[in-house]
Chains A and B, each alone.
Chain A
């Protein structure tokens, strides 16, 4: 319960514990993100990422005019102990409007001692970009390594505990126990506690003009029947590559931001990079509905990194450059089956160079033009994307 003060005069001052921020703001806060795009591809081939079993929302998106990641988010402090948030992503898939529950979580506010517990469905705390909503990304699409490993972003249902150390330097430690049903886990193994993670972040300032953060992440899952889009070679019954076994991801991430005297309004620069490596061991079965589907043992490693720089050279205008690179080494008892499952890297090293320019009329609206030279697979593609991202309603603070 907040005390309310509408006009406490200077003469009759009381000790006002009230918080104006809450006084007039809508409760709950409802915010809407509008995201529309136009894309042009040079290449009509179906998208693939050799060496990676794609899942989740992985792909290069649609061609022509289409809707991007429209989100409706409702959030509020439930009481003095809990904060709650629900984010629904509304997207069109092949003419059908689908509502996906992207986030639905509660978070403690007042445990104190640096401890916070989050429960429900949320973006995993691993990596740097993973916890940022799509609309806060500096490019229209995810880095290739996020596409390859997480199906764009790692979201799961479960419990997260994190702790901030009471030290000069910022140090956060966190862990998660999750259901493990969604890609890149699958099957909700271990009685619905199939995935877990650990992460640590450390960060600080250097002088007034520089801020940095460095992170380490670990994620693992008991995967039971993770299905991937795989390859549709046309004709015949569709075979769905299905993986069961152990999966483990380790990663490092860093971000460095510069703004003259710490004033980012005029000019600022942001350099960010992440590296992830995934090790998997188990079996891949090509489910085709028959009693004896093809299968192979599978022992694989997929890794990759990206590095990107974003420069705001004057108010409203930013330019960015990103480089992506992936690599994989997958082995199994039957190379042909591995290849059908998309796990043969075909001797190709996926890479991509992306250029971006955007204009923000205010902090609530952004127009973006992006060009990518995409060598995800053997046929090079030139991808041009025009995008708008607009934010309506009270829009909360962004993370670092």
Chain B
């Protein structure tokens, strides 16, 4: 009796997953990868994002709804480099979906496709919550993003072979538009070169690397630790000797520390979108960089 019920449930399970296989079910860990997967997959993919721009991707709970989504996914697209280490492994262990385990075709780590910055020489918690594999916020360098797009497109073609041409032509179209935009952004961003910026968290390493901007200090005393009054006072001292152009933070970070330091120093605090959905106008990856540059340029001009 129990076995009969169980087999019945299994059959139901395989029926549901097969009917859902008409398109690729993609589970993106962050909105930037959801956006990229949608651009590259078009109507051949159904994308859900595990997180929004309002949420700190370091700190997500392994919620039941996310387990259910991983259970049905054909492909996970995540930043990797330990950004999701606090929740993704739990989702993978709970969901019982072998297609999307590390090492499988259905598991795509964006950071693994590119050279990473900020690989620590020493992994020690006294240094805060550092990522041993380097800084995972790779999507903020549009050159790296283009490389990731190409790798992701290849992956889609492997998973959905009959539509390989579809993915190839979408990638070609995306790459052409992206390179045009890249040229425009790099022209616009010339005044930003050498600009010194105070950051909330080390989210912007790749953006700075691309634009030749300089990190003038972090609001977090150590990665992952909240800003303290003592730390802000010492930052203020540093900034008196070597001023910065702006203090940048993003939606999911509490603006209090940035605004407090802004009051203390007179340096403007600027909210940047960080990812798709991080500002009303940021509806895709193109507008993400448009708005980011616009807000930075407003500070220097």
Q: How far is the CA of A227 from the CA of B79 in the complex (A)?
A: 53
CB A79 to nearest CB in B, in angstroms, measures 10
Q: Which of B10, B71, B154 contacts A164 (CB 8 A)?
A: B71
**Cross-chain contact B112 with A400 (CB below 8 angstroms):** no
Contact present for A261 and B129 (CB under 8 Å):
no
A112 to B103: give the CA distance in the assembly, Å.
15
B113 and A164 contacting across the interface, CB-CB below 8 Å: no
| A4 closest partner in B (C-beta) | B112
Residue in B14, B67, B254 with the greatest tally of chain A CB atoms within 10 Å: B67
Q: Confirm or deny: A364 has a beta carbon within 8 angstroms of a beta carbon on chain B.
A: yes
Q: Which one of A9, A113, A213, A392 contacts B64 once the chains associate, using CB atoms below 8 Å?
A: A213
Is A333 in contact with chain B by the CB < 8 A criterion?
no
Of the listed stretches A16-24, A237-245, A347-355, chain B binds A16-24
Cα distance, A3 to B113, chains bound together (Å): 12
Nearest CB of chain A from residue B297's CB, rounded to whole Å: 26
A21-B63 contact given A261-B54, A397-B87, CB 8 Å threshold: no
**Smallest Cβ-Cβ distance to B53: which chain A residue:** A261
Task: Give the residues in chain B near A25, CB-CB below 8 Å.
Answer: 82, 132
Instruction: Contacts A170-B67, A203-B63 given; indicate if A9 touches B226 (C-beta within 8 A).
Output: no
B299 within 8 A of A: no
The answer to the question of B265 belonging to the interface, with a C-beta cut-off of 8 Å to chain A, is no
**Complex Cα–Cα for A220 and B82 (A):** 41
The answer to whether B10 and A168 touch across the interface, beta carbons within 8 angstroms, is no
Answer yes or no: B52 CB below 8 A from chain A CBs. Answer: yes
Across the interface, do A8 and B90 meet the contact criterion of CB distance under 8 Å?
no
Give B236-272 interface residues, CB cut-off 8 Å to A. 252, 254
**A164-B67, A362-B129 known; A397 and B86 CB under 8 Å?**
yes
Stretch at the interface among B144-152, B173-181, B211-219, B286-294: B144-152
Q: State whether A396 and B90 are in contact (beta carbons under 8 Å apart), knowing that A19-B112, A211-B63 are contacts in the complex.
A: yes
Q: How far is the CB of B160 from chain A (nearest CB, A)?
A: 14
A109 at the interface (CB under 8 A from B): yes
Q: Are A316 and B226 in contact (CB under 8 A)?
A: yes
Contact digits for A136-173, partner B, Cβ 8 Å, 1 yes 0 no: 00000000000000000000000000111111111111
Q: Does A315 contact B (CB under 8 A)?
A: yes
Q: Are A8 and B105 in contact (CB under 8 A)?
A: no
In chain A, what residue has the closest Cβ to B19?
A: A166
The complex places the Cα of A399 from the Cα of B96 at a distance, in Å, of: 15
Instruction: A396 to B64: give the CA distance in the assembly, Å.
Output: 18
User: Per a CB cutoff under 8 Å, which of B56, B64, B105, B125 touches A400?
Assistant: B64
Q: Counting CB contacts under 8 A, is B191 at the interface?
A: no
Determine whether A293 belongs to the interface, using a CB cutoff of 8 Å to chain B.
no
Asked if B252 contacts A10 (CB within 8 A), the reply is no
B64 touches A362 (CB 8 A): no
Q: Of A95-103, A262-270, A303-311, which binds chain B?
A: A262-270
Q: In the complex, A208→B88 CA distance in Å? A: 18
Given contact pairs A166-B17, A262-B55, A363 touches B129 in the complex (Cβ within 8 A): yes
State which residues 75-105 of B face A: CB under 8 Å: 80-82, 85-90, 93-99, 101-105
Q: Are B112 and A20 in contact (CB under 8 A)?
A: yes
How many chain A residues sit at the interface, stated as a range, is: 35 or more
Partner of B54, one of A9, A20, A263, A315: A263
Answer whether residue A294 sits at the interface, using C-beta atoms and an 8 A cutoff: no
1/0 contact trace for A164-193 toward B, CB 8 Å? 111111111100000000000000000000
B278 to chain A, nearest CB (A): 12
B30 part of interface (Cβ distance < 8 Å):
no
Complex Cα distance, B10 from A32, in Å, reads 39
Within the assembled complex, what's the spacing in Å between the Cα atoms of A362 and B224?
8
In the assembled complex, B232 has its CB within 8 A of some CB on chain A: no
- Complex formed: what's the CA distance from A165 to B70 in Å? 11
10 nearest A-B pairs in the assembled complex, by CB-CB distance: A203-B64, A19-B102, A170-B64, A397-B90, A10-B147, A261-B54, A110-B98, A170-B68, A112-B98, A20-B133
Which residues of chain B have a CB within 8 Å of any CB of chain A? 6, 9-10, 12-14, 16-17, 20, 51-52, 54-56, 59-65, 67-68, 71-72, 80-82, 85-90, 93-99, 101-105, 107, 109, 111-115, 123, 125, 128-129, 132-133, 143-144, 146-147, 150-151, 154-155, 158, 224-226, 252, 254
Q: A166-B16, A263-B56, A392-B125 are in contact. List 8 more A-B contacts (CB 8 A).
A: A9-B114, A17-B104, A111-B96, A113-B17, A113-B96, A163-B6, A166-B72, A397-B62
